[in-house]
Structure 1
Amino acid sequence: MTATIGVQTLTLVIFALQIKPGVNVVKLLPAGGEGKGKNGNYIVCNKEGNMNMLIRNESMDMNINDEKVDVIIKSLGTDETPQYIIIGVRPEGYLCFEKLRSKAEFNKLEYGYEPIESELKVKFPESPK
């Protein structure tokens, strides 16, 4: 199982650090290769189960324990257009990540993840207009 997750991470996630001197921002970017033809959704797991999300180009904040998270993950897993999620994991958000990963696997939703340092600000891709 761990090997599968590692492969998914390598094939689904491109985590680009676009840091200039004095700027502490990271940008999550859509995956290439295996991600082609699929829509990316982005989630950052923070402390106490709080998450910043960009789902279907809509920005939202939720807690991993909210019932609506289950509905969202299930709908992504059953969407006609293939979906995947990229998960940014802060050190204090690891328990949130474990729950989210379990929900994604249960719904057969492809995902990738990348650790993010606590002090870095995360920027999601801009939604197409």
Structure 2
Amino acid sequence: MKMQFKRQEEIALVLILACLVGIFSFVSFGSGVVNLASTNEIGNSLEKINALKEELEEKQAILAQLYKEIERLKEKLARLEKQDFSKEKEMAAIKQEIKKYQAKIAKVNKEIAVLKAKIKEAEKGYIDVGRLGGSLQIENPLYIECVKEGLIIQPKGKTVSLAEIESLFKRIIEGEYCVVFLVRPSGFESFLKAREIAEKKEGLKIGYEPIDSSWKLKFPKGVRT
């Protein structure tokens, strides 16, 4: 029992030292509360960002296709100019079509610029979880956010209450080979409970990161849910 308590003290000390040296820009573990309502709001914000990014990809695909069409028309025009000057009407029509495509390109470029600005604004205040130290050491982990109320399995947002950790968390990590705990200032108790269970699973790689109460989390693309 003394050894377990000592280990908990060591973990706490490591996290606090990380705060002091500024590695994680982390505020004291004794302050700040993250509730599940605010987590849901963050989830909605991330959905909005992802929707904007999908729309951006669609616009970029349209833009690429428009450029291809212009290249095709220019090649056709060049062939006509070399081979047959008598087809002036056809060449004039092609030039008009090129102008139409150029106008479409200008419009799509404006739409892309607006989307990029919206994404940039929406992403303000987000921390890229994939760039945190504990995540960099473990490839494609299961992310577990530790808050006062319990655990949040990210990025899906599934919650496990503090009272349910012992009964449910063992099942959640079945089949997992690595987890990273993202520990909010209020979530140290949840972290200790979950970590104790995780350490009993043979071969499971474990990482942990202290995160500030105000941070909104952005997860790597393709992360497991």
TM-score in terms of structure 1 length: 0.63
Which residues of structure 1 form unaligned runs of 5+? 7-14, 77-82
Does 2:196 align with 1:96? no
Runs of 4+ off more than 6 Å: none
In structure 1, C-alpha distance between the alignment counterparts of 2:190 and 2:220, rounded to whole Å? 22
- Contact kept? 2:141, 2:178, Cα under 8 Å: yes
- The DSSP-based 3-state class of the residue aligned with 1:93 is helix
Deviation of 1:111 after TM superposition, in Å, equals 0.9
Counterpart pick for 2:206 among 97, 111, 116:
111
Pick from 129, 144, 150: which aligns with 1:43? 144
Q: CA deviation at 1:118?
A: 0.4
Count of matched residue positions in the alignment of Structure 1 and Structure 2: 103
Judging by fraction of residues, say which structure has more strand. 1
Structure 2, unpaired ranges of 5+:
1-6, 15-22, 26-119
CA RMSD of aligned residues (A): 3.2
Percent of matched pairs sharing the same residue: 29
String of CA shifts for 1:7-34, please: whole Å, max 9, x gaps.
xxxxxxxx999xx9x93211211745x5
- Larger RCO of the pair (alpha carbons < 8 Å, separation 6+): 1
**Bigger helix fraction:** 2
TM-score (normalizing by structure 2) = 0.38
The one-letter code of the counterpart of 1:43 is I
Match of 1:75 in 2: 175
Q: Rg: which structure is higher?
A: 2
* Paired residues of 2:170 and 2:198 also in contact (CA < 8 A): no
